[in-house]
Amino acid sequence: MLIKIIWETAGLCNRMKSTIIFLCGILAMAASEPCDLLHLNDDQLILSLNKKLLLSLEDRSQLPNPSIYIALRLSDFHNQTMENAYLVWLKTELHKNLESSLKMGKPVTGLLALYILALRGSCQDLNNITLNQKNIIQELEEQVTQEEKNIKEKEVPLTNYYQYSLGVLAQCVCGVHVRKELVDAMEPEDMKHGQNESVDTLAMAGMALQCVKESCGGQDDDHLQQILNTIKDKLLASQRPDGHMGNEFSTGLAVQALLAMHILNYSEPMEALKRSARNCVYHNPMAISQVLPALQHKSYLQLRVQQCTNEDNSLNVMPQPTTTEVLPVTVSLEVLVVIKENKTKYTVIIPKLSSLLNALTLLQEQEAGFTFETEPTLWGPFLTVVNGVQAQQSNRTYWNLSSDGSPLSEGIRDYKIQRPQKITIRLSTY
Ligand code: B12
Ligand SMILES: *[C@@H]1O[C@H](CO)[C@@H](O)[C@H](O)[C@H]1NC(C)=O
Ligand SMILES: *[C@@H]1O[C@H](CO)[C@@H](O)[C@H](O)[C@H]1NC(C)=O
Ligand SMILES: *[C@@H]1O[C@H](CO)[C@@H](O)[C@H](O)[C@H]1NC(C)=O
Ligand SMILES: *[C@@H]1O[C@H](CO)[C@@H](O)[C@H](O)[C@H]1NC(C)=O
Ligand SMILES: *[C@@H]1O[C@H](CO)[C@@H](O)[C@H](O)[C@H]1NC(C)=O
Ligand SMILES: *[C@@H]1O[C@H](CO)[C@@H](O)[C@H](O)[C@H]1NC(C)=O
Ligand SMILES: *[C@@H]1O[C@H](CO)[C@@H](O)[C@H](O)[C@H]1NC(C)=O
């Protein structure tokens, strides 16, 4: 265990030398949340994640997140007042956001599918909901068809196979017939996350195809069965010695897929999920939203039969501990920006346990020539521009993050700097 010293932030700042006074502003942000889930039994653990997700509904600084709402709707426990208020917010703010993205011709397959699944999760009548005067399901079908067209012409979806799968899943869960061409365009060999196989994507595709298989017409499709078998084999082969499938953040979706596919020996990945949950690996509400249904033995396919009757209404939010723990220790961070052959190295001194986001912000403020920009996403800020160079979906470029050579499994807001290290930010293609 780390020996943590609790300092009064103000007291600490008073003691600091002027050269590092600029650190004080972000010390509060560097404070780590206490992790105290180790002693909980399984039911208490699930309840605590559920309450954490419910509490996250109160953060209205960003767009409403349909994935969080879906997980809350799939749960055994509810706070009807808070869930209803969030649904209203989804139907106004997210709705408007989707409409304006569509007007600009931006592909919105994944977000639209999640919105539709969220509406299905609260048993809304989808027949009378429209986006830009068009029925919402019809709009989804058009988005997925554009993705399919891109796969045919360029061998890759407009967005990615994860969003394509979400689109197929949402159609199927809402009882819409899924065209055979959409199934045939699923290519498990191309379901990648950077260089690696994407277990998250395989899991989402598996759930989508299992749903199609179980709807009328799907049973006799040999090609569908063949793709499903490939996905199943890949999922089972992704299990690590510690029980996780892929990594900590794909295991929730992988377990959901195993449940959907009626593969019964999922105890090892389930135990791995609980172990990681007890170690507070899942603090990002987006991560919790993909893990919680699995812990409650549910998958997104459950939305097909969602009834919204006789629901529990017992869930309250936990009062949050307000202690601020600050480590009055600094570490030196090396940041290497790689654009093709051009490597630029920077160094910055930061409070220990700062997020990478705060570290990069400090580096930028030092005017050492480093600049960056982010875009908000369901997972938090996504790094898009570094030193004026923009990575974007239309070029299939992105900024790949690694620490001392190993790719990060979290984004810049969630990743905490615990020791001196070298962060590489490399312009990559996918
Ligand atoms: C596709 C994908 C990508 C693509 C996105 C581009 C594209 N158009 O395809 C690429 C390859 C670029 C990518 C990059 C990264 N990804 Co990624 N990605 C995914 C995946 C499979 C689907 C995301 C999606 O489309 N969601 C659907 C739409 C509706 O939601 P959305 O939030 O609007 O989608 C956007 C964001 O999710 C964003 N995005 C993608 N990955 C990440 C990661 C983070 C941390 C953030 C903030 C945003 C982000 O790109 C999406 C498309 O624009 C998820 C799997 C999952 N379980 O969610 C992993 C996932 C979100 N990615 C992950 C990670 C770790 C990364 C990287 C940090 C990897 C790295 N070491 O560089 C980088 C991000 C670095 C940065 N620049 O900030 C983790 C996040 C875990 C966590 N605790 O934060 C996930 C869960 C995969 C996993 N199991 O490890 N990713
Ligand atoms: C859809 O129908 C329901 C009841 O059938 C109604 O309460 C709701 O207002 C309608 N929504 C829209 C957008 O017309
Ligand atoms: C990032 O780069 C590493 C190699 O440095 C690679 O293994 C990984 O697949 C890349 N992409 C992602 C999304 O992690
Ligand atoms: C990708 O695969 C390589 C080799 O199998 C592994 O070392 C690396 O950690 C993986 N990257 C991610 C992001 O899982
Ligand atoms: C399923 O069982 C096999 C053999 O009993 C085991 O090796 C594997 O880890 C199990 N898979 C999962 C997902 O638990
Ligand atoms: C639901 O949340 C509201 C708002 O936080 C709270 O006032 C109410 O007591 C909660 N309901 C239950 C049953 O705890
Ligand atoms: C490399 O990148 C740095 C920082 O963006 C820039 O100042 C420099 O001119 C670049 N060097 C070359 C050779 O392109
Ligand atoms: C991506 O494409 C845009 C034009 O569509 C171009 O301006 C930009 O330089 C490209 N970025 C990279 C990294 O290639």
Q: Which of 162, 195, 338, 399 is the best mutation target for the ligand 3 pocket, counting ligand atoms within 8 Å of the beta carbon and taking the most?
A: 195
pLDDT (tens digit, 9 = 90+) per residue, 354-411?
999 999 999 999 988 999 999 999 999 999 999 999 999 999 999 999 999 999 999 9
Nearest CA to ligand 7 atom 10: 342
Give the per-residue pLDDT at 34. 72
Q: How far is the CA of 394 from the centre of ligand 8 (A)?
A: 8
Return the ligand number nearest the Cα of 244: 5
Q: Dmax of the chain from CA atoms?
A: 74
Q: pTM (2 decimals)?
A: 0.93
Provide Rg for the chain, Cα atoms.
Answer: 22
Instruction: Please work out whether the CB of residue 316 comes within 6 Å of at least one atom of ligand 6.
Output: yes
Instruction: Please work out whether the CB of residue 250 comes within 6 Å of at least one atom of ligand 4.
Output: no
Q: Which atom of ligand 8 is nearest to the CA of 392?
A: 1
Phi then psi for residue 193, to 5 deg, are: -125, 100
- Angstrom distance (rounded) from CA 127 to CA 124: 9
Nearest CA to ligand 2 atom 4: 125
Mean pLDDT taken over the chain: 91
pLDDT (tens digit, 9 = 90+) per residue, 326-346?
667 999 999 999 999 999 999
- CA angle in degrees (0–180, nearest 5) for 22-23-25: 80
Q: Which of 88, 128, 135, 136 is the best mutation target for the ligand 2 pocket, counting ligand atoms within 8 Å of the beta carbon and taking the most?
A: 128
Burial of 364 (0-12, 13-18, 19+ CB in 10 A): middle
Per-residue pLDDT of the chain (430 residues; tens, 9 = 90+): 233 333 333 333 333 433 343 444 444 344 456 788 999 999 999 999 999 999 999 999 999 999 999 999 999 999 999 999 999 999 999 999 999 999 999 999 999 999 999 999 999 999 999 999 999 999 999 999 999 999 999 999 999 999 999 999 999 999 999 999 999 999 999 999 999 999 999 999 999 999 999 997 777 889 999 999 999 999 999 999 999 999 999 999 999 999 999 999 999 999 999 999 999 999 999 999 999 999 999 999 999 999 999 999 999 986 776 665 666 799 999 999 999 999 999 999 999 999 999 999 999 999 889 999 999 999 999 999 999 999 999 999 999 999 999 999 999 999 999 999 999 999 999 9
Of the candidates 101, 216, 213, 114, the residue with the CA atom closest to the CA atom of residue 165: 114
Q: Which atom of ligand 1 is nearest to the CA of 248?
A: 89
Q: Which atom of ligand 1 is nearest to the CA of 108?
A: 29
Instruction: Please work out whether the CB of residue 314 comes within 6 Å of at least one atom of ligand 6.
Output: yes
Instruction: Please work out whether the CB of residue 313 comes within 6 Å of at least one atom of ligand 6.
Output: yes
Sign of CA dihedral 144, 197, 256, 210: positive
Q: How far is the CA of 123 from the centre of ligand 6 (A)?
A: 22
- Cβ-based neighbour number of residue 62 at 10 Å: 12
- Cβ-based neighbour number of residue 299 at 10 Å: 22
- CA angle in degrees (0–180, nearest 5) for 382-388-393: 45
Instruction: Please work out whether the CB of residue 184 comes within 6 Å of at least one atom of ligand 5.
Output: no
Return the ligand number nearest the Cα of 415: 1
Q: Which atom of ligand 1 is nearest to the CA of 391?
A: 77
